Amino acid sequence: MESSDSGPPLAPDLRSLLKSVGMVSGAAGHGFRNLVKVLRANPLTLVGFVLVVFLSATAFLVVVTPPVTQVLFGSPSSITPFDPNGLVDEKNIPPWTNAPVLRNESFQSNRTTPWVNAANANRVDGIGAVSNRTGDFLVATNFPMGIKRNSIESVGFAVWLIPNGTDPGQYVAIRVSFDGGTTWSPKYSVRSVGRDVRVDVTNLTTWDVSKLSTTSLYLNVTHESDAGTTGNVSLDYLGATAIWRSYWHLMGSDTSGRDLFSRLLVALPLDLAIGFAIAGFALLLGGGLGLVAGFWDKPGTFGGVISLTIMRVTDVFLAFPSLVLALAIAATLGRGTGPSVLAVLLTWWPYYVRLTRGEVLAVKHQPYVTAAKAAGVSGGRILFRHVLRNILEPLIVYFTMDVGTVLVVFSTISFVGIGVPASVPEWGNMIEAYGDYLLLFPWMVIFPGLAIFVTVLAFSLLGDGLRDILDPRSRRALTQAAIPATSVPATSARSEA
């Protein structure tokens, strides 16, 4: 009995709830269908939308992947292929390649018997290490090969004997150790003088990074003589040589050996965050001041005085080009990310004041606003219920397109050297750092510039599409344009019949 008594009263509420859910779902579905029609009629909007989503998702992954993997797996990982600030490879590797890297490194340390001036044998300058007795040996160690991966194609050593310091019948025999002097190879005799002699030892062992490290690779140089001869031998240079394949780089490496693609990825969250932060702050501050200046602008009132003050201050800021003013403020505050952001913030809000005030003045004299005033609705309620909701469309569109503009201005500040510190990866900063190498290594400048271009283009296309979507007249025109043209002849045929 109780269940039968309590059941009927709930039925109308349930039907009402289901009806409301159905109305919301229907409205959402209708809006989604209109959105799809608009995107079909304007493919560039779809391109901008996809690009913005892709860039935002990538920036999000760059930021959250290290801490999440730290929690889940105990060690941080990143979606960047290399450490953006680490010297992971050789310098100036072209894009889309793993180029062969040639190394010819002299020793940094030596262990010697009576050889004279042994340290002089680490450079070709005509001043070498000298031995005057057969059997004397020089052990060269600590060759800074800098090899990063086991893709070694060849290994050898280079020797240069000084002609006027090497007597007839005198030469050197060189042995190689790849385990820190524990075992040694057979002797390789070098008799030629006055030229760079290269000896290949690739087949000596299966070479890897550990065998070519500073603590493993040793070269033993022994003074040898032909039978019945004595004299001096002068060693001008002794170096270890190798050819290895660099890592594969999508966008090449820079002048320090850092992966350019990794640096671009790491800079993406910073540039997007700066664009959204500056444009968002300008929207809130300038939009709020514009609402006040436009809605309460009656002369002779307190609101009119506030409105006049806001507009005159805005005019002062607008009297200077925003980029020039931002550069002046940034130069005054000093180089740094924070000062550069603050410099752009201080110059960006006046544009939103002017835009918002103009939209408010256009809306506040509409008949529905006049009717609300006549009905006794308070000014604050009219402002937020009738005025603000009708000016959101141009503000959202302008904000979306403004993110790209902010990015260009901020990158310009970094490009002139008063923005982000040189150690921080940022697109404008990278163009400034690599600008001197434009002709030699153009990819170092092209790819950061391309990143700025694509990001600005994406937000511009998205903003232009949002204008079409949010404006009922534009949306209606695009929706009608998306209707297949085959339906028109059919309608005409029926009318003729």
Do 339 and 444 lie in a common domain?
A: yes
Do 161 and 265 lie in a common domain?
A: no
Residue 123 C-alpha from the chain's centroid: 40
Do 190 and 239 lie in a common domain?
A: yes
CA angle, residues 283, 285, 287, in degrees to nearest 5: 55
Q: What is the pLDDT of residue 497?
A: 42
Helices (H), 296-387: 302-318, 322-333, 337-363, 367-374, 379-382
CA angle, residues 275, 278, 281, in degrees to nearest 5: 140
Q: What is the pLDDT of residue 494?
A: 41
Establish if 52 belongs to a structural domain.
Answer: no
Do 221 and 313 lie in a common domain?
A: no
Please give the structure tokens belonging to residue 316: 């002062």
Please give the structure tokens belonging to residue 275: 């664009």
Q: What is the pLDDT of residue 4?
A: 47
Report field, pTM of the whole predicted structure over 0.85: no
Establish if 216 belongs to a structural domain.
Answer: yes
**What span, in angstroms and rounded, lies between the C-alpha atoms of 143 and 215?**
8
CA angle, residues 265, 271, 276, in degrees to nearest 5: 130
**What span, in angstroms and rounded, lies between the C-alpha atoms of 221 and 6?**
103
Residue after which a domain boundary falls, among 215, 245, 275: 245
**What span, in angstroms and rounded, lies between the C-alpha atoms of 271 and 155?**
44
Residue after which a domain boundary falls, among 245, 274, 296: 245
Establish if 82 belongs to a structural domain.
Answer: no
> Which residue carries 């002699």 as its tokens?
197
113-121's contacts with Cβ under 8 Å and 24+ in sequence apart are 113/137, 113/138, 115/223, 115/235, 120/236, 121/221, 121/235, 121/236, 121/237, 121/238
Establish if 156 belongs to a structural domain.
Answer: yes
SS3 state of residue 358: helix
Q: What is the pLDDT of residue 1?
A: 45
Do 132 and 177 lie in a common domain?
A: yes
CATH number for 278: 1.10.3720.10
Domain count for the chain, please give it: 2
Establish if 268 belongs to a structural domain.
Answer: yes
Q: Digits of tens for pLDDT over the chain (497 positions)?
A: 444 444 445 455 555 555 555 554 655 555 566 666 666 767 888 889 899 999 999 999 999 999 999 999 999 999 999 999 888 888 888 999 888 888 899 999 998 888 999 999 988 888 899 999 999 999 999 999 988 889 999 999 999 999 999 999 999 999 999 999 999 999 999 999 999 999 999 999 999 999 999 999 999 999 999 999 999 999 999 999 999 998 899 999 998 889 999 999 999 999 999 999 999 999 999 999 999 999 888 887 888 899 999 999 999 999 998 889 999 999 999 888 899 999 999 999 999 999 999 999 988 888 888 888 888 888 788 888 888 888 888 899 999 999 999 999 999 999 988 888 888 899 999 999 999 999 999 999 999 999 999 999 999 999 888 887 776 665 555 555 555 544 444 444 444 44
CATH number for 240: 2.60.120.260
> Buried b / exposed e across 192-216, counting CB within 10 Å, b at 16+?
ebeeebeeebeeeeebebebbbeeb
Residue after which a domain boundary falls, among 245, 280, 314: 245
Do 134 and 168 lie in a common domain?
A: yes
Do 283 and 349 lie in a common domain?
A: yes
Establish if 362 belongs to a structural domain.
Answer: yes
Do 299 and 187 lie in a common domain?
A: no
Q: What is the pLDDT of residue 376?
A: 80
Establish if 490 belongs to a structural domain.
Answer: no
Do 383 and 341 lie in a common domain?
A: yes
Do 338 and 469 lie in a common domain?
A: yes
Do 187 and 241 lie in a common domain?
A: yes
CA angle, residues 257, 258, 260, in degrees to nearest 5: 125
Q: Which residues are within 8 A (CB) of 132 and not within 5 positions of it... i.e. 6 or more apart? A: 114, 116, 231, 232
Establish if 292 belongs to a structural domain.
Answer: yes
Range of the domain at 440: 260-482
Q: Which residues are within 8 A (CB) of 17 and not within 5 positions of it... i.e. 6 or more apart? A: none
Do 220 and 294 lie in a common domain?
A: no
